[in-house]
């Protein structure tokens, strides 16, 4: 055990997607995780500046009023960063890849597609799409050639992370992670919290400015820091506020961003819609499903040097012994 374990690798070390793993595979980020630093600065810099300004004003003006504002700003900032971290660092709902294409499911699959994908191991061909029933409505699911699986309904392949992801919403460059089944509630909380923080800093910067002299332009020249904060928050709130409103609309109608763009012009019935209250309840009060991956598990022996999609794996597929394909 001891000598072999030195050579054996864990699943996150041989993971074929482009994710970045930290703390021994406990934290899962997207490939563009470094963009979180920019997002952190864009939230943290104005928030800290505001807090310092309020701390100074506690001594200069109404102590209790500015102290309460300071405490509120600190709580909102901490919450915002917590939600950002929870959104970015968790498995968003990655579907583990198959090493080989699944066996044909000709009996149950009602297939209307005339397109086929060839399975590279045998010469069997699999239909490119398959129809499945969701709440009485037929939904087409596609075969992912990279992951060698039929994507479950609502799943999509993220081209940035190179994984199929459950209930894929979009890949967010600001948090450097897919927004999907397992982090969507945190993402919505992050957006809402950012919008609140923006409005909070905007309103109380303005009140603090006007509280001094009463004339806006004189105060603006006098307290340039609060002036810049007002302007910064005014611009930012349109962006984060707009996104929050858009996502609340998506929650009300139980759609993902992906579905909204794809089916926008279709008059198709949405099989996931359950009424506004139930849609909200499903998102915020249902338990987040467990991850389908245990990135810290030991990778199977052959996976150490045979990576899915690599040239080596193609050789194994061609000349190896894919015995489980013939088992049912």
Residue 146 engages Zn ion in binding (rule: CB under 5 A) = yes
CA atoms within 13 A on the CB side of 15: 27
Nearer to Zn ion, 164 or 299 (CB): 164
Considering only the stretches 73-81, 166-174, 187-195, 230-238, report the one whose residues sit in contact with Zn ion under the rule CB under 5 A: 166-174
* The one among 33, 54, 144, 316 contacting Zn ion by CB under 5 A: 144
Shortest distance (Å) from residue 58 CB to Zn ion: 44
CB of 230 to Zn ion, least distance (A): 35
Region from 131-139, 170-178, 188-196, 308-316 binding Zn ion, contact rule CB under 5 A: 170-178
With tokens 């590279």, the residue in question is 120
Q: Closer to Zn ion at the Cβ: 132 or 160?
A: 160
| Residue number, 159 or 215, with CB nearest to Zn ion | 159
Closer CB to Zn ion, residue 178 or residue 229? 178
CA distance 208 to 210: 6
50-58, 157-165, 220-228, 279-287 -> range binding Zn ion (CB under 5 A) = 157-165
Active site residue 172: yes
Which one of residues 27, 47, 141, 178 is an interface residue with Zn ion (CB under 5 A)? 178
171 makes contact with Zn ion (CB under 5 A): yes
| Active-site residue, selected from the candidate residues 158, 161, 164, 172 | 172
- In DSSP notation, 225-286 reads HHHHHHHHHHHHHHHHHHHHHHHHHHHHTT--HHHHHHSTT-----TT---HHHHHHHHHTS
Minimum distance of Zn ion from residue 85's CB (angstroms): 17
What Å distances lie between residue 272 and 85, 135, 206, 238, CA to CA? 28, 8, 43, 29
Q: Is the Cβ–Cβ distance between 115 and 127 less than 8 Å? A: yes
Question: Which of residues 11 and 158 has its CB atom nearest to Zn ion in the complex?
Answer: 158
User: Residue 239 CB, nearest distance to Zn ion (Å)?
Assistant: 21
Distance of closest approach, residue 232 Cβ to Zn ion, in angstroms: 29
Q: Is 167 in the site for Zn ion (CB under 5 A)?
A: no
- Residues between 284 and 323 that touch Zn ion (CB under 5 A): none
Binding to Zn ion by residue 181, rule CB under 5 A? Answer: no
DSSP 171-237: EETTTTEEE-TTTHHHHHHHHHHHHHHHHHHHHHHHHHHHTTSS-HHHHHHH-HHHHHHHHHHHHHH
Q: Cα–Cα distance between 177 and 296 in angstroms, integer?
A: 20
Residues 10 and 25: their CA atoms lie apart, in Å, by 8
C-alpha span between 56 and 232 (Å, rounded): 21
Candidates 43, 164, 209, 258; binder of Zn ion (CB under 5 A) is: 164
Alpha carbon 301 to its chain centroid, in Å, reads 31
- Please count the residues of this chain forming the interface with Zn ion, following the rule CB under 5 A: 10
Q: Which of 36, 47, 70, 158 binds Zn ion (CB under 5 A)?
A: 158
- Using the structure block, give the residue that is written with the tokens 């990135």: 295
Give me the least distance between CB of 14 and Zn ion, in Å please: 17
Span between the terminal Cα atoms of the chain, in Å: 33
The set of catalytic residues is 172
| Residues in contact with Zn ion by the rule CB under 5 A | 144, 146-147, 157-158, 160-161, 164, 171, 178
């Amino acid at each position: 055990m001891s000598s072999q374990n030195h050579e054996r690798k864990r699943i996150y070390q041989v993971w074929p997607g482009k994710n970045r793993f930290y703390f021994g595979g406990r934290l899962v980020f997207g490939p563009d995780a470094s963009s979180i630093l920019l997002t952190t600065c864009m939230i943290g810099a104005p928030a800290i500046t505001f807090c310092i300004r309020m701390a100074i004003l506690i001594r200069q003006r109404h102590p209790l009023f500015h102290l309460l504002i300071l405490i509120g700003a600190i709580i909102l900032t901490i919450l915002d960063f917590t939600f950002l971290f929870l959104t970015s660092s968790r498995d968003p709902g990655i579907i583990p890849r198959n090493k080989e294409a699944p066996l044909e499911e000709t009996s149950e699959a009602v297939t209307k597609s005339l397109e086929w994908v060839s399975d590279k191991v045998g010469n069997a061909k699999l239909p490119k799409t398959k129809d499945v029933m969701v709440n009485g409505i037929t939904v087409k699911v596609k075969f992912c050639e990279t992951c060698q699986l039929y994507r479950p309904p609502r799943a999509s392949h993220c081209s940035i992370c190179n994984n199929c992801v459950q209930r894929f919403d979009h890949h967010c460059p600001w948090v450097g992670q897919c927004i999907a089944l397992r982090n969507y509630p945190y993402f919505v909380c992050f957006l809402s919290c950012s919008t609140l923080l923006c409005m909070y800093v905007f309103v109380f910067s303005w009140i603090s400015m006007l509280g001094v002299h009463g004339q806006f332009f004189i105060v603006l020249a006098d307290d340039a820091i609060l002036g810049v904060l007002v302007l910064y928050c005014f611009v930012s709130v349109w962006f984060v506020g707009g996104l929050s409103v858009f996502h609340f609309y998506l929650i009300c109608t139980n759609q993902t961003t992906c579905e909204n763009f794809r089916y926008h012009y279709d008059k198709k019935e949405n099989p996931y819609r359950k009424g506004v209250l139930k849609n909200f309840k499903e998102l915020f009060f249902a338990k987040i499903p467990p991850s389908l991956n245990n990135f810290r598990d030991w990778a199977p022996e052959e996976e150490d040097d045979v990576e899915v999609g690599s040239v080596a794996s193609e050789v194994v597929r061609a000349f190896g012994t894919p015995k489980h394909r013939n088992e049912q």
